[in-house]
Amino acid sequence: MVTAPGDLPMISVPYAKFGGAADGFQHAHATTLALPTVVERLRAAIEAAAMWVLDEINPQALLSRGGYVISPARQLLFFHPKYMARLLAADPSALLEAPLKFAKLELPDRSVWVRYLDPIDAFARYQSPDLRALGVELAALSHEIVTTGLGQQPSESR
C-alpha cells in the first residue's frame, strides 16, 4: 500500500466525467498521444508562436504530497510581455486573465485531453474594445498552438 507523508494511506481520486457547462467557456482537444509527448509538443508550439512558457505545474505531484493519487495531469502557463502591455494599457483590472493556461489530463482510457479557457469570453466581459480585440487575437493564437502541437486539423477539436 502506498502511503502519504506521516504513513497515512493515499486517497485515490478518480476523475469524474467532464461537465457539459464547460463547453460554453472552454475549448477541448483530445489526442491519443502520451501525456509527456503532449506537454513537450505544446511547449515547443508555444515557443514557436513567440510566446513564453512561464511555468509548468504538475497537479499529480502536488496532490501526492497531500496524500492523494490522481491520473496524470499537467498545466502549462504562457504569455508574452507585448500582450501584457496591451492588457494593462486597456484595463489593468484584467490582469487576472493572464497568463493563459493549457490543462492536460490523461483519462483511464489513456486518451489525453487539452483544455483551455476561451480568451474571447474572458476579455469580453471587461467591455473594452481593446481587450475584446486582444481576446480574439489570443483565442486564435491559442487554437493555433494546440492544433499545431497536437498535429490536428481544426475540425478535430471542439
CA-CA distance, 52 to 84, in Å (whole number)? 12
DSSP 108-134: TTS-EEEEEE-HHHHHHTT--HHHHHH
pLDDT of residue 128: 98
Those residues whose C-beta lies under 8 Å from the C-beta of residue 84, and which sit 6 or more positions away, are: 98
Assign domain 28-156 to a CATH class. alpha beta
Per-residue cell: 1: 500500500
- Give every residue of the chain whose pLDDT is below 50, as ranges: 155-158
Segment 2-32, tens digit of pLDDT = 666 667 789 999 999 988 898 889 999 999 9
pLDDT of residue 152: 80
Four-point Cα dihedral 133, 120, 86, 114, nearest 10:
-130
CA-CA distance, 2 to 131, in Å (whole number)? 48
pLDDT of residue 1: 53
What pTM does this model have? 0.89
Q: Where are the domains of the chain?
A: 28-156
Beta carbons of 76 and 59 less than 8 angstroms apart: no
pLDDT of residue 78: 98
